[in-house]
Structure 1
C-alpha cells in the first residue's frame, strides 16, 4: 500500500563562496576543488583597482568542472563601455553565468571610463541575453530611501548586500532577491580582517548569523574568509 503522506519540500538558501582570480591555473583549480561543497561562486573583478585575470575566464574554468554550480561574475563599470558589456552578456549566454555590476575602485592602471550606471548596464546586458540573471550592489550605509529606491529597480534579479552587521538591518526590506556578503574572521585571517573597514563576523558566530539570514528568506548568502578555505568548509559542513 502506498503512503500518500505529503512531505513538504524545503527550498534551501544558496550558500556561495567568494573566489578571487589567480594568475596560475593550478592554483585556481585547487581552490575551486577545495570549495566544491558550496552551491556556487562569486568572482570579484580587479579588486581595489589592480590587474587580475578576467572573472569570465575563471567562470569558464568552473563551468568546465561543474554544470550545476551558480556562478556570479562581478563587473566593474569604471573601466568599460557598451561594447564590452554587450560582449560580456553574450559570453554569459555561452558559458552560463550571472553578472553583478559595481562601480568599482579607481583603477591603478589607466584612466577611468565610468559613465555607465549599474542600472544602464543591466538594461543593456539584457538586450543581448534576455535570460541573463543580473544583479546590483546595495550598501547598508546608504539612506533607507536610497536602498528602497534601488530595490525597486525591477530588472535586477538579485542584490549583493554590503556592510551588513545584523539581520535586523533587513527589517522592512523585501528580501527574496537579497544575497548578503558576509566576511568571516578566523584565527588564520584575523590580522587582515581587523584592518578592514567592512563588518566582519567571528567564525564561531557565523553559522548562527547564516541561520538568521535564512529565516529572513534571503535568496542566498555570499561568504568570504579572506583566503581561509578551511574555515569556509568547516562552516558549510556544519550547515
Structure 2
C-alpha cells in the first residue's frame, strides 16, 4: 500500500525536524535517561492556539516516531500495512475523546497538573500509568502495520487540540470549489485520512498540518485548489511553517533554559 508522497524540499525539511524531536526523546530521554527533553506544554498549547496543529505534524516526538516507524514498516512489510476501514475507523477515533475525559478528571478532580512533570501525571493513577506503558507500543510497534495508529486512536491530546482548533478556526486549509477538479490526490497524500477533497475548510478535523496536501506536487498546477489561511487571509504554507517553527523553538528554549518554568 503506497502511503507516502515523493520527497520535496518541504517534506525533507519537515522530516529533519521530526527526526530531531523523535531522537531527542527516544534516544536521549528514553534510552540514555538524559534530562534533555525539548518540550514545554506552555509553548505547545500556545502553538496549538496560534498556529493550529503544526506541533502534531512537525515537533511531536510521538507523532514523529510513529511516522518513521510507519515508513520502516512500509519498506519491510509493504503488503502487511493497512488502514482500518470504515465505519470502524470512525468509531475507533472516538476512543481518544474518552481518554481525554479520563485525563481531564485527573486534572480537575485529582488536582494533577497537565503543565507539570508528565511522569508525575502518568504515575498518579493505575489507569494513567498503564496508558503510558501501552503508549510506547502504540508509537513504536503498531505503526509498522497500521499507519498513524497512535495519532488516530490513542492521543487524547490530539482530541483536545481538535476541539480547540475547531472552535477557534485561526488556521484553516481551504478548498476552492470553483477550481477543484476532484482528482482526490490530496486524499491519497493525507496520512490521517482527512480527505480534503470532500471538505470546504479543514480545522480541528484530525489534520496534522503536515502540509502534504499543500506541497508543490500535490494539487495539479491547473487547479491549486487548496490553500492555507490564517484569520481568513491566505498565506504561503512554507513561510508559515518556517516562521512558526522558529518561534516555537525560540520560545521553548527561553522557557526551559532562561526562565526555567
Give me the TM-score of the superposition, normalised by structure 2.
0.29
| Structure (1/2) with the larger strand percentage | 1
| Structure (1/2) with the larger helix percentage | 2
Give me the TM-score of the superposition, normalised by structure 1.
0.30
